[in-house]
Amino acid sequence: MAHYKMINQVKDYAWGSPDLLAQIQGRVPEGRPEAEMWMGSHPNGSSQVVTPRGETVSLADLLAGSPDMLGQRALTLQAPGEDVPGLPFLLKILTAGKGLSIQAHPDREQAREGYAREDARGIARDAPRRTYRDQNHKPELVCALTEFWGLCGFRPLEELQREFQGLAPALARLDHPLLGPALRSFLEKPREETWQALFLAILDCGVDRSFRDDLVRTLGSCLEGSSGDGPSSRDRYWWVGELLDQYPGDPGAFAPLYLNLFHLQPGEAVFLGPRILHAYLRGAGVEIMANSDNVLRSGCTGKHVDSQELARILSFESFVPRPSRGKDEQGLRAYTTPAREFELVRVLRQGRLEKREGPAILLATAGQVRCGDLLLESGESAFVDDATDAIELSGPGVASTYVAALPGAISFAPTVLPAGADRPDAGAACDGAS
Q: Which residues are catalytic?
A: 297
Cα separation, 362 vs 397, in Å, equals 12
Q: Decide if 412 contacts 398 (C-beta within 8 A).
A: no
Q: What end-to-end distance do the CA atoms of the chain give, in Å?
A: 34
CA distances from 71 to 2, 63, 75, 77, 242 (A): 13, 11, 6, 11, 46
Q: Residue 225: how many CB atoms within 10 A of its CB?
A: 7
Q: Which residues contact 235 (CB under 8 A, 6 or more apart)?
A: 261
Cα separation, 275 vs 301, in Å, equals 19
Angle at 222 between CA 260 and CA 275, to 5 degrees: 25
Q: What's the maximum distance between 2 C-alpha atoms anywhere in the chain?
A: 76
Q: In 3-state terms, what secondary structure has residue 124?
A: coil
Query: Dihedrals φ, ψ of 189, to 5°?
Result: -135, 85
What 8-state DSSP symbol labels residue 276?
-
Q: In 3-state terms, what secondary structure has residue 271?
A: strand
Angle at 140 between CA 134 and CA 142, to 5 degrees: 135
Q: Which of 213, 210, 211 is nearest to 221 (CA)?
A: 213
Q: Decide if 4 contacts 51 (C-beta within 8 A).
A: yes
Q: Which of 377, 380, 381 is nearest to 395 (CA)?
A: 377
What 8-state DSSP symbol labels residue 239?
H
Residues belonging to the chain: 434
Cα separation, 280 vs 261, in Å, equals 10
Beta strands per DSSP E along 40-110: 48-50, 56-58, 89-96, 102-104
Q: Which residues contact 97 (CB under 8 A, 6 or more apart)?
A: 15, 16, 17, 18, 20, 33, 282
